[in-house]
Structure 1
Amino acid sequence: MLTGLRLSNIALIERLELSFSEGFTVLTGETGAGKSILLDALDALLGGAQGSAGARLLRRGAERGTIEASFSLSPPLQAWLQQQELEVEEGELLLSREWRLTEERLSSRNRLNGVVVSRAQIQELRPLLLDLTVQGQTQQLARPGQQRRWLDRFGGEGLSLLLTPVAAAWRQWKQAAAALEQARSDWDQLQQQRAAQEQLLADLEAAQLQDPQERQQLQNEENRLAHGVRLQEGVMVLLGRLQEGAEQAPSVLDHLAACEQELLQMEALDGGVSELRSCCSDGLAALQDLARELDRYGSGLDSDPESLAELQERMAQLKALERRHGQELAGLIALRDRLRQQLAPGGGEASLEALELAEQRARQLRDQANASLSAARRQAAAALEQQLMQALRPMGLANVRFAVAIAPAPAGEEGADAVQFQFSANPGVPLAPLAEVASGGEMSRFLLALKTCLAATDQHVTLLFDEIDTGVSGRVSGAMAELLARLAKQRQVFCVTHQPLVAAAADHHFRVSKQVLEGVTHTRVSQLRDTQDRQAELAELAGGDSGEASSYAASLLDQYGR
């Protein structure tokens, strides 16, 4: 429920703060006073008024404008906030949008309970808060899938539960179909280039590719072979210093053995030297191990020019393959394995058959899910047809006919149904698409009836109607007033109206007026709490301040117990 609205420097409003209650609220006032500004502000707050529309919304001469609204929480709203990991204080949602004009550049920012949120989040949030209906809303009717979405909403939770498996089945089929299409394309290309592919496989087989790291291993081996003489010299120098000594000096091992003997003699005199002697013995053993490993390494060194030449020839072969096919060794091995499978007798056909079977199974599951959804939609369509005509007939459409046409459509994430609302207001006139044949007044009544039918499934969203009763007769406006009042028992309802019959049925009445102060036009909004004030406003709507208009206004208020 919308509980409060605050505006600052918006259109003709310098500053305004309003509080709202549950039930039916109307806004009245003379033409041009700015009644629709409040609904425009809520629309802008929830993602509308982008670009130049936002610039027009900012009050002339102001560099900053703000719209702020507070809402009580509903279960769907609480679930969305938890999903977005947004905290709520004191059980209320505070939503704001601020515009700033800096060096002729207009920017805006949305906040939810003080936290900056994106426009995408606001667009997700909007259907959980408000549903705005304006007269002749044919553009909304013409949006692709809009009539289907209304039917699904009317179908309630039972129908909604079918949408998830339908979307999942469609995505699985889409993946299977894409894999099959790619495989068929590859197969066709393979057949066209079979001779070249067979030659490519022969080249790769001849290369005897095994290890993706072979080139690196060959590089290491080449380094070892190419520098075999130098490495052997290094081994001899090291072994000479460790075992034989240099320039008639004892070797390292001789020195360390002598140190060990000296420490043994010292240990006999002082047991505290045992740890030092142990360290020396460990060092001597480690150096002896080093000498043995060096000797083994040296014996394995090979400077054979023939072996080096063979190794370099293999490396050149691998480099040439990589360069020719634009792939590293690992990619070439994968290519060879793929070609082996494709070119093997029956290999490609078997793969295609498996993918065809997978696509067929996925399509069957998709079609089964779509069939269940279509059946639920037809059941919902029959109920919607009946309820809509019951709501429309009292509003001057005694001969109305309405049907929901459901036709097959290409499968998608929302099923395989094309939904079209068909309408006829007069006897003998065949049913035709609603958006094409309904007049503005008929469209207004239809949208009001539709929102009434949807109220049972969308009980947590505030409804806003902007002058949908324009151009209808008094009898019809009375029927619309009763429908709005009945709707407001389930939902919070706002309506901008020129009809005294509609205004009299409201629980709460706000008057919008204009004032010119020092040459500047201002919009004022005041709540009419006193019966006399409401009677005067209704008399103004009925045609003036005459005695007849005043008596008529009093009778309307008495009729609704206001």
Structure 2
Amino acid sequence: MTGGCVLTALRLENIALIERLELTFSAGFTVLTGETGAGKSILLDALDALLGGAQGAGASRLLRQGASRGVIEACFSLSPPLLRWLEAEELPAEEGEVVLAREWRWSDGRLSSRNRLNGVTINRSQVQALRPLLVDLTVQGQTQQLARAGQQRRWLDRCGGAPLQQALGQVGVAWSDWKTAAAALDQARAAWQQLQAERASREALLADLDSAALEDPQEALHLQQEQDRLAHGVRLQEGVMTLLGRLVEGAEGAPSVLDHLAACEAEWQAMEQCDGSLAELHGRAVEVHQLVQDLARDLDRYGACLESDPESLAALQERLQQLRALQRRHGQDLAGLIDLRDRLRDELHSGGAGVSLEVLEQRECQARRCRDQANAQLSQCRHEAAAWLEGQLMEALRPMGLANVRFAVAIEPSGPGEEGADAVQFLFSANPGHALAPLAEVASGGEMSRFLLAFKTCLAAADSHVTLLFDEIDAGVSGRVSGAMAALLQRLARQRQVFCITHQPLVAAAADHHFRVAKQVVEGVTHTRVSQLRDTRARQVELAELAGGDHQEARSYAASLLGRGATSPEAHPAP
């Protein structure tokens, strides 16, 4: 066995009828036997619970009666896919193994659980992602699982190996890209349709804004200032004349401000001749004189611009009223109205929305072509995988009492999705003269058991790196068929670790490792005990029990199975 995951240890505490149990396992083929009701499925139930099962009421039934705490802990060796997953999740891989544990506790009438991996707490979604990397559980009567939409397609995909998985990944990317492009196009089309429906009102709005000839966001403020100036033109002119009179010409026979400043400047100059330290003050006086002269000139220019024009004032007030009415009507200031007008021009006249729609249509078309090309490549890989699976399954099924079996994988086009555009169905016929029909509808329980075993064998050869667990996969088959199934399980165990719960002595004798499960009543309390049968004598006794009881014929049959090899049903007919 190379590169596969191996369950090396299992510890249970207060689980079902088990108070405390520690088991160690090895690679190869391991069987669990015991009387009906002894609790042989405890291994499978425990692993299922550990890897995300046993939620809600199922969890409370799993705990040993009266216990407030329960623990399931399993140790697995690392496989390459498991190591890659640990690295991606930034979880520790200690000494080439992972220890996965789940603990349940009752607290305040409520049962809670916690998962840990190598001592680090992990969440349920991580556990669910981890499960397919560790174990593959097969039980008799998985017809419902086979009938689920997409299940047979996913099983076929696992048979295609790395090329198919790569094609499947490309399909997922192409599908996501197309969905994004299609959503953007749908959104743009909806917006375009809405725009068309509102076009008349938008055109009327644009015409209203265009007629206003808006250019300056501050126009209303400027107009208000101009209106105030024109409305008070006479008063302003009077003020200018008064100020110029006092600054330049003088008033009521008194000198003007400039006359006083000129006289002051002459006096500063005379004083500076006596005291040179006054030069700075003299300079400042000169500056004041110059500033007042500049002020007088600017005031004179302002007065020259003043005019009282009733027509100009009326036009200005009309424009101001127009702008205020626009702002009230549309609930925006001038800056917002200018921006609205520009956007409407772009949408209605420049063809911006139409151009964007055309670009999005081109992107969606290109993404759809990439999606369809990826789907076609994936479909080709699936046809190749189907041809391989058909040949391998026929080879595995015929020795198991199905000499006339026919099997085919039907691949039909379907609507595209993130897993391609193929509908996959397994077709099956076990009898001559009967047409191929859907496997889940026509296979009997025994035929389904054999099919599942053969299929998992093919899957292990293709890509599986996990521990395989079979729960009474050989139930309801004859001794001859069980011998063929035993041979297939042995062959499978050369590639992967295999566990099998069985009632068939031929299957049990073929195992590398044998565990017996039994019930014991101690002081009125029922317990489940699991013991490994390490010597030939113990295994002979157990095989004799499976073969029909502790009598000479059964003991002889059990000894022959262990003594000469268990995989030839012709050599070991059932007693």
TM class by shorter-chain length? 0.7 to 0.9
User: Is residue 177 of structure 1 aligned with residue 182 of structure 2?
Assistant: yes
- Give the corresponding residue for 2:453: 448
- Measured in 2, the distance between the counterparts of 1:439 and 1:140 equals 15
- Give the corresponding residue for 2:257: none
Q: SS state of the match for residue 160, structure 1?
A: helix
Q: Which deviates more, 96-105 or 194-203?
A: 194-203
- Measured in 1, the distance between the counterparts of 2:432 and 2:364 equals 50
- Give the corresponding residue for 2:101: 96
Q: Deviations over 1:514-558 (max 9, x none)?
A: 011121110000000010000000000000000000000011111
- Give the corresponding residue for 1:148: 153
User: Is residue 52 of structure 1 aligned with residue 61 of structure 2?
Assistant: no
Give 1:128-143 correspondences, 5 Å limit: 128-143=133-148
Q: Which residue type is aligned with residue 29 of structure 2?
A: F
- Give the corresponding residue for 1:438: 443
User: Is residue 486 of structure 1 aligned with residue 495 of structure 2?
Assistant: no
- Compute the displacement of 1:207 (Å): 7.1
- Give the corresponding residue for 1:270: none
Mark the CA change 1:449 to 1:204 in structure 2 (over 3 Å): closer, same or farther: farther
* Equivalent of 1:400 in 405, 416, 419: 405
- Give the corresponding residue for 1:273: none
Q: Which residue type is aligned with residue 121 of structure 1?
A: Q
- Compute the displacement of 1:343 (Å): 1.8
- Give the corresponding residue for 1:271: none
* Equivalent of 2:468 in 463, 473, 476: 463
User: Normalized against structure 1, the TM-score is what?
Assistant: 0.79
User: Is residue 71 of structure 1 aligned with residue 80 of structure 2?
Assistant: no
- Compute the displacement of 1:173 (Å): 1.3
User: Is residue 374 of structure 1 aligned with residue 383 of structure 2?
Assistant: no
- Measured in 2, the distance between the counterparts of 1:106 and 1:370 equals 46
- Compute the displacement of 1:152 (Å): 0.9
Q: Which deviates more, 135-144 or 74-83?
A: 135-144
- Measured in 2, the distance between the counterparts of 1:114 and 1:510 equals 29
Q: Deviations over 1:13-70 (max 9, x none)?
A: 1100000000000000000000001111001100111111111111111111110000
- Measured in 1, the distance between the counterparts of 2:136 and 2:491 equals 17
Question: Contact conserved, 2:31 with 2:502, CA < 8 A, in 1?
Answer: yes
- Give the corresponding residue for 2:163: 158
User: Is residue 22 of structure 1 aligned with residue 33 of structure 2?
Assistant: no
Question: Contact conserved, 1:180 with 1:352, CA < 8 A, in 2?
Answer: yes
Mark the CA change 1:556 to 1:184 in structure 2 (over 3 Å): closer, same or farther: same
Question: Contact conserved, 1:408 with 1:417, CA < 8 A, in 2?
Answer: yes
User: Is residue 355 of structure 1 aligned with residue 364 of structure 2?
Assistant: no
- Compute the displacement of 1:356 (Å): 2.1
User: Is residue 386 of structure 1 aligned with residue 395 of structure 2?
Assistant: no
Question: Contact conserved, 1:133 with 1:464, CA < 8 A, in 2?
Answer: yes
- Compute the displacement of 1:491 (Å): 0.4
Q: SS state of the match for residue 41, structure 2?
A: helix
- Give the corresponding residue for 2:89: 84
Q: Deviations over 1:164-212 (max 9, x none)?
A: 221111111112212222222222222222211222334555677889x
- Compute the displacement of 1:141 (Å): 1.0
- Give the corresponding residue for 1:240: none
- Measured in 2, the distance between the counterparts of 1:209 and 1:77 equals 68
- Compute the displacement of 1:340 (Å): 2.9
- Measured in 1, the distance between the counterparts of 2:108 and 2:506 equals 49
User: Is residue 501 of structure 1 aligned with residue 510 of structure 2?
Assistant: no
- Measured in 2, the distance between the counterparts of 1:46 and 1:155 equals 26
- Measured in 2, the distance between the counterparts of 1:558 and 1:209 equals 105
Question: Contact conserved, 1:322 with 1:329, CA < 8 A, in 2?
Answer: no
Q: SS state of the match for residue 74, structure 2?
A: strand
User: Normalized against structure 2, the TM-score is what?
Assistant: 0.77
Mark the CA change 1:311 to 1:129 in structure 2 (over 3 Å): closer, same or farther: farther
Question: Contact conserved, 2:509 with 2:566, CA < 8 A, in 1?
Answer: no
* Equivalent of 2:369 in 364, 367, 378: 364
- Compute the displacement of 1:312 (Å): 11
* Equivalent of 2:555 in 529, 537, 550: 550
Question: Contact conserved, 1:322 with 1:328, CA < 8 A, in 2?
Answer: no
Q: Which residue type is aligned with residue 37 of structure 2?
A: G
Q: Which residue type is aligned with residue 43 of structure 1?
A: D
Q: Deviations over 1:119-174 (max 9, x none)?
A: 10011111111000000111221222111111111000011111122111111111
- Measured in 2, the distance between the counterparts of 1:457 and 1:160 equals 12
Mark the CA change 1:207 to 1:31 in structure 2 (over 3 Å): closer, same or farther: farther
- Give the corresponding residue for 2:530: 525
- Give the corresponding residue for 1:187: 192
Mark the CA change 1:463 to 1:333 in structure 2 (over 3 Å): closer, same or farther: farther
- Compute the displacement of 1:316 (Å): 8.4
* Equivalent of 2:330 in 321, 326, 339: 321
Mark the CA change 1:319 to 1:546 in structure 2 (over 3 Å): closer, same or farther: farther
* Equivalent of 2:425 in 411, 420, 426: 420
Question: Contact conserved, 2:79 with 2:465, CA < 8 A, in 1?
Answer: yes
Q: SS state of the match for residue 530, structure 2?
A: strand
Question: Contact conserved, 1:25 with 1:493, CA < 8 A, in 2?
Answer: yes
Q: Which deviates more, 51-60 or 546-555?
A: 51-60
Mark the CA change 1:439 to 1:337 in structure 2 (over 3 Å): closer, same or farther: farther
Q: Deviations over 1:358-388 (max 9, x none)?
A: 2222111111111111011101101101111
- Measured in 2, the distance between the counterparts of 1:25 and 1:391 equals 21
Mark the CA change 1:182 to 1:535 in structure 2 (over 3 Å): closer, same or farther: same
- Compute the displacement of 1:309 (Å): 12
Q: Which residue type is aligned with residue 37 of structure 1?
A: I
- Give the corresponding residue for 1:409: 414
Q: SS state of the match for residue 462, structure 2?
A: coil
Give 1:179-258 correspondences, 5 Å limit: 179-203=184-208
How many residue pairs align between the two structures? 482
- Measured in 1, the distance between the counterparts of 2:485 and 2:160 equals 24
Q: Which residue type is aligned with residue 30 of structure 1?
A: E
- Measured in 2, the distance between the counterparts of 1:504 and 1:381 equals 34
Q: Which residue type is aligned with residue 13 of structure 1?
A: I
- Compute the displacement of 1:475 (Å): 0.6
Question: Contact conserved, 2:12 with 2:73, CA < 8 A, in 1?
Answer: yes
* Equivalent of 1:534 in 534, 539, 548: 539
- Give the corresponding residue for 2:45: 40
Mark the CA change 1:208 to 1:374 in structure 2 (over 3 Å): closer, same or farther: farther
- Compute the displacement of 1:314 (Å): 6.2
- Measured in 1, the distance between the counterparts of 2:322 and 2:343 equals 27
Q: Deviations over 1:435-488 (max 9, x none)?
A: 111111111111110100011233421000001111000011000000000000
Q: Deviations over 1:285-341 (max 9, x none)?
A: xxxxxx9xxx9xxx9xxxxxx999999996885576357xxx9977x7776555433
User: Is residue 516 of structure 1 aligned with residue 521 of structure 2?
Assistant: yes
Q: Which residue type is aligned with residue 190 of structure 2?
A: S
- Compute the displacement of 1:560 (Å): 2.3
Question: Contact conserved, 1:459 with 1:490, CA < 8 A, in 2?
Answer: no
Q: SS state of the match for residue 461, structure 2?
A: coil
Mark the CA change 1:480 to 1:198 in structure 2 (over 3 Å): closer, same or farther: same
Q: Which residue type is aligned with residue 156 of structure 1?
A: G
Q: Which residue type is aligned with residue 41 of structure 2?
A: S
